[in-house]
Amino acid sequence: MGGGLMSVVNSHAEALRPVVCKLSGKVCPELLEVERQSNRPPWGEELFEREFANRYSRIYGARLLGRIVGFLVVHVVMDEAHVVNFGILTELRGQGIGRVLLEEVLEDLRREAHKTVTLEVRAGNLPAINLYQSVGFAECGIRPAYYSDNNEDALTMRLDLTAPVSWRSTDDRDCASATKAA
Ligand SMILES: CC(C)(COP(=O)(O)OP(=O)(O)OC[C@H]1O[C@@H](n2cnc3c(N)ncnc32)[C@H](O)[C@@H]1OP(=O)(O)O)[C@@H](O)C(=O)NCCC(=O)NCCS
């Protein structure tokens, strides 16, 4: 996965907008590859299997040209949601794919009348922090030395889903609803 994908994408310029769908049931090599490129230490197959079996967990995938190029895992309990994992293939970052995926997940949660979304992010992860702020998340705390690999602090961020949407940038949706399973 990865090698040459960018050149294929470049020859399909209009296809850069991913299709966002809920993934169901099966851990595939593409998902593991995105994870390997996104997190340290990366989740293994067993952890993903547990997430697929967890009734409170949803795994959304971003597909481009039929391949999974990003994913977002969110836990939903009552009217609260918590983003627990999110990544895009390295060679496709910075092209708007993460934004489309995140916005479609938030739209799904909003449609279902959930009220808040929270998450933790490494204090030095500016791309992710910028993205979260741009869709309305606000910093609400710090967890010192939260990440055990380098003792980096986590920022906690929160989004009020009941607040008016001022960030929406993805109007022409490929997926009428991201609740579609794939
Ligand atoms: C964070 C991540 C998911 C963003 O996905 P992406 O597809 O690269 O993001 P997009 O191209 O949609 O960019 C959306 C916004 O993010 C911010 N952003 C993206 N890349 C950035 C960079 N290199 N520097 C600063 N801000 C950046 C910008 O605000 C950007 O909006 P703009 O293009 O209008 O300026 C991706 O960088 C990633 O997979 N990182 C590794 C895993 C990770 O950090 N996950 C989050 C854990 S909390």
| Interval between CA 128 and ligand 1 midpoint (Å) | 5
The band of 21, judged by pLDDT with boundaries at 50, 70 and 90, is very high
> Domain of 110?
16-160
- Residue 4 located in a structural domain: no
Within 10 Å of residue 26's Cβ, how many Cβ atoms?
9
Distance CA 45, CA 119 (A): 22
Residue 45 lies in a domain: yes
Question: Residue 164: what pLDDT?
Answer: 85
**How many domains is the chain partitioned into structurally?**
1
Cα separation, 167 vs 179, in Å, equals 21
Which residues are within 8 A (CB) of 127 and not within 5 positions of it... i.e. 6 or more apart? 93, 94
Residue 167 belongs to some domain of the structure = no
pLDDT, tens digit (0-9, with 9 covering 90-100), for 58-89:
999 999 999 999 999 999 999 999 999 999 99
| C-alpha–C-alpha distance, residues 123 and 73, integer Å | 20
Query: Residue 97: which H helix or E strand, with range?
Result: helix 97-111
Residues 18-45, mean pLDDT to the nearest whole number = 94
For a ligand 1 pocket test, name from 34, 90, 99 the mutation site with the most ligand atoms within 8 angstroms of its C-beta: 99
110 vs 171, higher pLDDT:
110
pLDDT digits (tens, 9 = 90+) for 92-148: 999 999 999 999 999 999 999 999 999 999 999 999 999 999 999 999 999 999 999
Please check whether residue 35 lies inside any domain of the structure.
yes
8 Å CB contact between 73 and 84: yes
Find the Cα–Cα–Cα–Cα dihedral 94, 145, 31, 167, rounded to 10°: -40
Query: Is residue 171 assigned to a domain?
Result: no
pTM assigned to the model? 0.90
For residue 130, the one-letter residue type is N
Comparing 172 with 78, the larger pLDDT belongs to 78
